[in-house]
Structure 1
């Protein structure tokens, strides 16, 4: 029990009055407290704000985008290793009819191996131009959580890095002060015994 109490005192020594405590020790203690508060509070807020903003954006995309049936104008080659990054989809020329009755033609990614005349679903945005399919509610929640976590970790990294730089500068200053003090005291200890 006493070792735990002594360990706690050791960790909090910069906060206690001591003839060995220097101004830089107090500054360092306050800086480290500020770093941890910023990491916990700021990281939490950054994560929550980012998650909320991403959720709103994905909900907006789901509300604005809609699917329409399109017709393939050409045969589509089977997906190859080069199209694996497109989820097995291959760019192909398609045609669709908009809600106002106008006909549109464009290139869009479609599943590979389909024949001309096949009906495929494509997504349009509020302006009626081709768009990516919006994430589902579950996909949006997962992506929002990832973005929020990334924002929290990013802020924490910046704050901890800034705190490390401040501590390094304080250590350099303490070492310089010790060197100057040693230059004053060292010659007095130059006497040899024996």
Structure 2
């Protein structure tokens, strides 16, 4: 019984790691191609995914930093009462008209989202861009860092998925080609094998 277990363990150990890289009589050109393909896939996932993630995160963080530089908060006057009724936009938000003055003295008006219940004539803080147009509040440095990290992770994941998909398609093609080669070779060898056994 112990000898059977040892024999089974020995059989399990006979599997040669990285056999496609080693010279052996059953290795084919497609096996070598597959070995290089698998290596390329993992290198591109590890290196390419990391680079794509870092570049995307850095670019996103720069965009947010530029927004914080260009966008400024200014006081604005609410022109219409903001109804207290709930809206489809948000639980406590409703669209209303406001008026503001830019640093050059020009007066502008536009629609923005405000919390419900505000009265006409009250003052609120809004965000405008370099041209004095209404815009959204830029993300804080902490929020920007989190969002940049998420964008970077998504980019790395997307690239890894594409590379893995292309690699899987390549391996599938090599498998189909090997099967066709084995089938054609068997049509030559099979009849001789059967003839020797009869």
TM-score by length of 1: 0.91
Change (3 A) 1:29 1:79: farther
User: In the alignment, which of 130, 143, 149 is matched to residue 139 of structure 1?
Assistant: 143
Contact persistence 2:87–2:93 (CA under 8 A): no
Contact persistence 1:79–1:111 (CA under 8 A): no
Corresponding position of 1:168: 172
Corresponding position of 1:74: 80
Could you list the per-position Cα deviations for residues 119-163 of structure 1 after superposition, in whole angstroms to 9, with x for gaps in the alignment? 111100111111110000011000000000000000000000000
Q: Which runs of 5+ in 1 are unaligned?
A: none
User: In the alignment, which of 56, 61, 68 is matched to residue 62 of structure 2?
Assistant: 56
Structure 1 position 151 matched with structure 2 position 155: yes
CA distance in 2, matches of 1:12, 1:6: 13
Displacement of 1:193: 5.8
User: In the alignment, which of 124, 132, 140 is matched to residue 120 of structure 1?
Assistant: 124
User: In the alignment, which of 35, 47, 68 is matched to residue 41 of structure 1?
Assistant: 47
Structure 1 position 25 matched with structure 2 position 11: no
Q: Which runs of 5+ in 2 are unaligned?
A: 1-8
Contact persistence 1:93–1:105 (CA under 8 A): yes
Structure 1 position 177 matched with structure 2 position 181: yes
Contact persistence 1:46–1:155 (CA under 8 A): yes
SS at match of 2:130: coil
TM-score by length of 2: 0.89
Runs of 4+ with >6 A deviation: none
Change (3 A) 1:164 1:188: same
Q: Count matched residues.
A: 189
Q: What are the equivalent positions in structure 2 for 1:100-111 lying under 5 Å apart? A: 100-111=104-115
